[in-house]
Amino acid sequence: MSNKEKKDAGQQKQTAGQQKTEKATQKKASVTRYFEQRIGEWLEKEMKNDPLFEKTVTSKPEKTIKGACNYVLKVAKDSGQAGWDDDEVYNLVRHYYDEDDVKDPGEQRPSKVIVSGHVDLTAEEKAEAMAKAEAAFKKELKEKAEADEKARREAEKKKAEERRKALLEKRERENAMQGDLFGF
């Protein structure tokens, strides 16, 4: 491989790596966006229902929805608990706004955030989800067809083996019935 070819291959690997990183960043951003949207909706509802809480939230402009989400993700990560009830999450958001000493811990890297409730997807996200679902379905169909074909081949092989054994047994019986022509 020439130096130019090596350089081109290296650039292709780098481009593929960049695309993978960009895709992961977009996915993380969409998860965070839904999570922040859900927390923001809850916060608005709480502020309408509780004027004292509204005063607390509006008096602390340094505290943001993003900061609240970062705090919730940090607490969840530190706890090691896999699942959280909506009320637990909302209580953590309330705690974030109520306590002056609780600060935004900065960007967190969640392994997976599942947001309950209705989420509006963009056309691109819908197309991506549909493509993933179709690919998974096709893969499942292919695996099932392969498994069925393997089972069919095994059944045929077993049947052929049974026929071969039956034929050998028949020949042995026939040979046993035939007398020895020369008396040996």
* pLDDT for 6 beyond 80: no
- What number of other Cβ atoms are within 10 A of residue 74's Cβ? 17
Average pLDDT on 73-77 reads: 85
Does the pLDDT value for residue 58 go beyond 80? Answer: yes
Whose tokens are 């035939």? That residue is 178
- Would you tell me the crossing angle of helices 51-58 and 3-49 to the nearest 10 degrees? 140
User: What pLDDT score does 175 carry?
Assistant: 78
12: Cα separation from own chain's centroid: 27
pLDDT, tens only, 13-35: 555 555 555 554 444 454 577 88
Cβ neighbours around 62 below 10 Å, total: 7
What separation in angstroms does the CA of 45 have from each of 39, 48, 63, 120, 164?
10, 5, 17, 19, 78
List, in order, residues 6 or more apart from 136 with CB less than 8 Å away. none
- 63, 95 Cβ separation under 8 angstroms: no
Cα within 13 Å of Cα(84), Cβ side: 22
Whether the per-residue pLDDT at 90 is higher than 80: the answer is: yes
What pLDDT digit, counting tens, does each position of 28-56 carry?
A: 454 577 888 888 999 999 999 999 989 98
Residue 105 has pLDDT above 60, yes or no: yes
Element (H, E) at 172: helix 123-177
Mean per-residue pLDDT, 160-167: 95
Count of residues making up the chain: 184
3-state secondary structure 2-62: CHHHHHHHHHHHHHHHHHHHHHHHHHHHHHHHHHHHHHHHHHHHHHHHCHHHHHHHHCCCC
Mean pLDDT computed over every residue of the chain: 81
* Model-wide pTM > 0.75: no
Cα–Cα distances (Å) from 59 to 44, 55, 63, in that order, read 15, 6, 9
